[in-house]
Structure 1
Amino acid sequence: MNQEQVKFFEAISGALPEYQNLAQSVADVLDISANEAYKKIRGTSTLSMPQLIKLSDSFATPFSYQPNQLPSVSFSYLYVNRETPNMLDYLKDLLQNLKFIQQRKEKHILITTDDIPIFHFFKYPELTCFKLFFWADNSALKFDYSAISEEIVAVAKELNQIYLEIPSTEIWSKDTVHGTIDQVRYAFEAGHISDKSLAEKIVEQIRYCLTDMNMYAISAKKTIDPDHTFNWYNCDVLGSLAYLIQFKDSMLCYNRFNTFNYLKTDDQFYCTQTKDWMQGLIKKSVAFSGQGEKHRNKFLYNAFAACDHLIAEINGI
């Protein structure tokens, strides 16, 4: 039996919607009988290289082989050119990944972050557009909200809605909120935002975003649906920004780099190591959701105060 081939089909199975039959899907892609597909899946009939490539492309599932003496991890990534970034393509890629997660019957997102997770921003158009502007490093330009397409705003709102429907756990650092606040301050002081009312509106939307977080934390869920659970933690030192996606029988890991690019891997050993590290962080963290009212209120009080202070600066008070 070809164990690597069996593992490959297990990965394909994990990527399929619950209603889709693995053997029939493989048979359709390879144009073979269902009986032959079952043999391929069991590893008793070897895949040819063209068949391997065809399956990998059709199901967006990489096949990886590594000699035992040379352990390694393969990553895929979306490259966004910082000089000429296409933010619509970036958001559409995020949407495709999030829809893939949403369609799975059992799923959970575990996040460690030093910035407010981007999916929370996407509810608010001006804040979304400012973050995209800042990430794109448009240091020589003025921030013009009207220049952002309606399609970008629509895709962002869809991303927010889908994320709210996926159970998640978020581990924030002590400075998670202040990064975005400092970005707005810098953009205003550097002249990238010349409209005081627009700058103030962006800061207000940060406040709204935090108010949303508080509501999610109080009920320990992001919507009225009890399946859309939410757990929120605060940890002084994180050391890395990562998204771990947990399914019933497999995991995916996304590591962010260069601000908005990310590396993606389905290497189960790597994902398990990441999960163990995140679970260790939770043990060192303060809980904000559910009964963590005292610590949550203190954190939010300081964050709201920082927002108020920046609004006062914007208005020259």
Structure 2
Amino acid sequence: MNNQQVLFFQAIKAALPEYQNLALSVAEKLGISTNEAYKKIRGDSNLTFQQIIKLSDCFDVPFLYSPKQSLSVTFSYLNVNEDLDMIGYLRNLLDNIKAIKNSNKKHITITTDDIPLFHFFKYPELTSFKLFFWANSANNLEMPFSSSFLSDEIIKISQELHATYLEIPSTEIWSKDTVTGTLEQIRYAFEAGHLTDTELAVKIVEQVRYCLTDMNMYAISSKKTIDPNHTFNWYNCDVLGSIAYLVDFKDHMACYNRFNTFNYLRTEDQAYCKQTKQWMQGLIMKSVSFSGQGEKHRNKYLYNAFAECDKLLREITNG
């Protein structure tokens, strides 16, 4: 078990804020000496089953064990009830993204055929529409959309999610249809009569354009803020195959795979994460870079995306 125990402590360390000492934290939670905590961290002293449970609960880090020759992977996910508690969903997402931001070393790599949710969280109406669309898709509802779907609390949490993501170094790999997905959702809602307010529909499409303008700014400087540590790399790959988020810490990884429209499966199985990382690195090798000097390809991609936005705006205003 020692190897799994060492990996377990590496995962706990990755989840701790930079200022927090691992051995002191473990000693405090288990009620043992710091010296004994160091022995357990090194694998010289085995954890008891009760201690594993206690550490997992305290630090919200699972202990992962797979028998030899087993290809099974354990995932966790957010249990969203039939009422689809969006505030609960966003709070859980915020807890995850804050834990990543507070880690010593971190980097997120995203493969996606939809605009990463953290970007549209900057814009209230676009955020509201995406949450509305997810709610309808998840529960097979046919309710109309209005700006009242958005609460002050959702706005507050969403903007905090956006601000936190900007402070995490990241690489994003978009497909050729990444922007199209959101535009098609808006088009469908408008044509199906779920989005009847023309002015609101126009505003949502315009906010998609603002998201793309933000992306262009990040790509030009290869960073998301004025802080050089908040690096940003943007790639385009025609065929991706899945939406995945890989969080790479100093000595540990975590993978999030999206399912059921908006929810995600999370695992810290290192073999699985390693395979995911290798797959993403392979995609990057086949991708076109939009960051830094990739101006020509980036401008062409954005030109086509803006043209699709303009096309939808004409359909909405002339319809």
Do these two structures clear the TM 0.5 threshold for a shared fold by scoring above it?
yes
Alpha-carbon distance in 2 for matches of 1:59, 1:39: 19
Tell me what 2:164 maps to.
162
Aligned-pair identity in percent equals: 70
Equivalent residues in 2 for 1:78-227 (5 A)? 78-81=78-81, 83-137=82-136, 139-227=141-229
CA distance in 2, matches of 1:250, 1:89: 27
Compared with structure 1, are the counterparts of its residues 261 and 149 closer, same or farther at alpha carbon in structure 2 (3 Å cutoff)?
same
Comparing 35-44 with 120-129, which one deviates more in the overlay? 35-44
Q: Is the 8 A contact 2:107 2:169 kept in 1?
A: yes
CA distance in 1: counterparts of 2:156 and 2:55, whole angstroms:
33
Q: Compute the displacement of 1:121 (Å).
A: 0.3
Shift of 1:202: 0.4
- Which residue of 2 is the match for residue 6 of structure 1? 6
CA distance in 1, matches of 2:104, 2:36: 28
Deviating beyond 3 angstroms after TM superposition, the runs of 4 or more aligned structure 1 residues are none
CA RMSD of aligned residues (A): 1.4
2:70 is equivalent to residue 70 of structure 1: yes
Alignment partner for residue 293 of structure 1, among 288, 295, 298?
Answer: 295
Greater mean deviation of Cα atoms: 132-141 or 202-211:
132-141
- Partners of 2:221 and 2:10 in 1: how far apart? 36
Alpha-carbon separation, structure 1, partners of 2:149 and 2:269: 40
TM-score calculated relative to the size of structure 2: 0.95
Query: Residues of 1 paired with 2:295 and 2:44: CA distance?
Result: 57
| TM-score normalised over the length of structure 1 | 0.96
The question of whether the paired residues in 1 share the 8 Å contact of 2:14 and 2:104 is answered with no
Amino acid at match of 1:203: V
Q: Which residue of 1 aligns with 2:46?
A: 46
| Equivalent pair of 1:139/1:192 in contact (CA under 8 Å) | no
**What secondary structure, in the 3-state scheme, does the structure 2 residue paired with 1:107 have?**
coil
1:214-246 CA distances to partner (integer Å, 9 max, x unpaired)? 111111111111111111111110001100111
Work out the CA distance in 2 between the residues paired with 1:302 and 1:79. Answer: 38
Measure, in 1, the Cα distance between the counterparts of 2:151 and 2:4: 45
2:310 counterpart (281, 302, 308): 308
The alignment partner of 1:67 has SS state of: coil
Distance 1:216 1:2 in 2: 43
Matched residue type, 2:127? T
Q: Deviations over 1:134-154 (max 9, x none)?
A: 011164211121232100011
Give per-residue Cα distances to partners, 1:261-293, cap 9 Å, x unaligned.
Answer: 101111111111111101110111111111111
Q: 1:38 offset after TM fit, Å?
A: 2.4
**1:260, distance to aligned residue in structure 2 (A):** 0.8
Determine helix, strand or coil for the equivalent of 2:248.
strand
**What's 2:57 paired with?**
57
- Residue 181 of structure 1 and its aligned partner are, at CA, apart by 0.5
Q: Secondary structure of 2:77's match?
A: strand
**AA matched with 2:121:** F
Contact 1:111 1:242 in 2 (8 A): yes
1:112 maps to amino acid: T
**Across the two proteins, how many residue pairs are aligned to each other?**
316
For 1:51, the aligned partner's letter is Q
Q: Distance in 1 between matches of 2:72 and 2:149?
A: 44
Partners in 1 of 2:33 and 2:125 — Cα distance? Answer: 53
Deviation at 1:79, TM superposition (A): 2.4
Q: What SS does the corresponding residue of 2:62 show, helix, strand or coil?
A: coil
Any unmatched runs of 5+ in structure 1?
none
Quote the offset at 1:35 in angstroms: 2.4
